[in-house]
Amino acid sequence: MSRKKFKIGLVIGRFQPFHKGHEFLFERALELCDSIVVGIGSANKNSQKNPWKASSRRKMLQEFIKAKGYEDRIIRIVNLYDNSDDDVWFRNLYKKIGHFDVTIGNNDWNNGIIERHGIPAVKVGFENREEWEGIQIRQLMKEKKPWEDRVPTYIRAVIK
């Protein structure tokens, strides 16, 4: 494997549901890093904003990894629990993840906490956010309108 800019990257997402924007994020992350650890954010939450349990989101991620052949590059998936204390959140994250060289993502809150602890954050931007954003997909599902084209085909069966 050729050396990337970073050895181990961290990608955090709620994946509510996993969609084409997440595919874009992982493609950018894998351009920067040799390997990726994935954090399932808000793993301890279940609400209208977080309708899928962490186990269902893990299944979506596993389907993505398998479909793309990333088994050797996405090395671990961990559940991350919300905590109102940023330092506690980071300590818990680090206990579960261990060492990582960079976080890749667009969440200013996550990135800010991680950067305050001396680890760089790379924002990769959004691709087609107005269609692929999770809140939009969940709203379409609620309204029983077509949503399927906003998620990868291999994820649709997991969601249904």
pLDDT of 131 reads: 84
pLDDT of 73 reads: 97
pLDDT of 160 reads: 79
pLDDT of 1 reads: 45
Strands (E), the chain: 6-13, 33-40, 74-79, 102-104, 121-122
- 6-155, what's its fold? Rossmann fold (3.40.50)
Judge whether 69 and 41 are in contact, CB under 8 Å: no
Give me the residue spans of the domains in the chain.
6-155
User: Does residue 66 carry a pLDDT above 70?
Assistant: yes
d(CA 30, CA 6) in angstroms, rounded, equals 10
